[in-house]
Amino acid sequence: MKISVREAAYYIGGTIFGDENLSFNNVAKIEEAENGDLTFLYLSSYEKYFSTTKASVIIVKPDFKKTRDDITYIQVENPNVAFQKIIIKYFNNLPQLSTSPHNLVVSPTAVIGKNVKFGNNVVIKDRTVVEDNSFIFDNTVILEDCFIGEGSIIYPNVSIREKCSIGKNVIIHSGVVIGSDGFGFTPDEKGVYFKVPQIGNVIIEDNVEIGANTAIDRAAMGSTVIKRGSKIDNLVQIGHNVIVGENTVISGQTGISGSTKIGNNSILAGQVGLAGHLEIGDKVIIGAQSGVSKSITKPGMYFGYPAKEMAIALRTEAHIRNLPKYAERIKDLENKISELEKKINKE
Q: Which residues are catalytic?
A: 240
Query: CA 136 to CA 290: how far, in whole Å?
Result: 36
Let me know: does 203 contact 223? Beta carbons within 8 Å: yes
Distances (CA, A) of 123 to 118, 132, 137, 154, 247: 9, 7, 8, 10, 27
Q: Report which of 277, 283, 282 is spatially closest to residue 292, judged by C-alpha positions.
A: 277
Cβ count within 10 A of residue 230 = 24
Let me know: does 163 contact 201? Beta carbons within 8 Å: yes
Report the amino acid identity of residue 305: Y
3-state SS string for 259-302: CCEECCCCEECCCCEECCCCEECCCEEECCCCEECCCECCCEEE
Query: CA 77 to CA 90: how far, in whole Å?
Result: 21
Burial of 285 (0-12, 13-18, 19+ CB in 10 A): middle
Let me know: does 224 contact 244? Beta carbons within 8 Å: no
Q: Report which of 277, 285, 250, 249 is spatially closest to residue 261, judged by C-alpha positions.
A: 277
**Is residue 334 classed as helix, strand or coil in its secondary structure?**
helix
Burial of 33 (0-12, 13-18, 19+ CB in 10 A): buried
Element housing 215 (H / E): strand 215-217
Let me know: does 254 contact 273? Beta carbons within 8 Å: yes
Report the amino acid identity of residue 176: V
